Amino acid sequence: MTLTQEEHAERVANRFKQLVENAGDFLQEEHYQELALLIEAALDAAAIEQMESITRKLEAFTVSLRQNKNFLFEGNV
């Protein structure tokens, strides 16, 4: 089962809520909702960083592929 980033963020916030309550403390529900939003934003940022990294690698691969094509087929086109 694959969780969406929102679902994962909610689970992490809920687990944190359990830890806080088990320690005998209390926070208002809105704080847990804010925490879930912050976690989701962090997950989104990490995913975007990974996509950008993959994009750079694909761009470099494309350049290399073009260079190799030109080398292999030079004069044969």
pLDDT digit string, tens, across residues 30-72:
999 999 999 999 999 999 999 999 999 999 999 998 888 877 7
> Quick one: pLDDT at residue 67?
85
Counting the structural domains of the chain, the total is: 1
d(CA 15, CA 72): 57
> Quick one: pLDDT at residue 76?
55
Question: Alpha helices, DSSP H only, in 1-77?
Answer: 5-22, 29-72
> Quick one: pLDDT at residue 1?
58
pTM score of the predicted model: 0.71
Structural domain contains residue 34: yes
- For 9, what's the count of Cα atoms within 13 Å in the CB-facing half-sphere? 16
Structural domain contains residue 77: no
The domain in which residue 23 lies consists of 5-72
| Higher per-residue pLDDT: 12 or 77 | 12
Spatial CA neighbour of 11 closest among 34, 39, 30, 44 = 39
Structural domain contains residue 62: yes
Cβ atoms 20, 27 nearer than 8 A: yes
d(CA 36, CA 8): 9
> Quick one: pLDDT at residue 74?
72
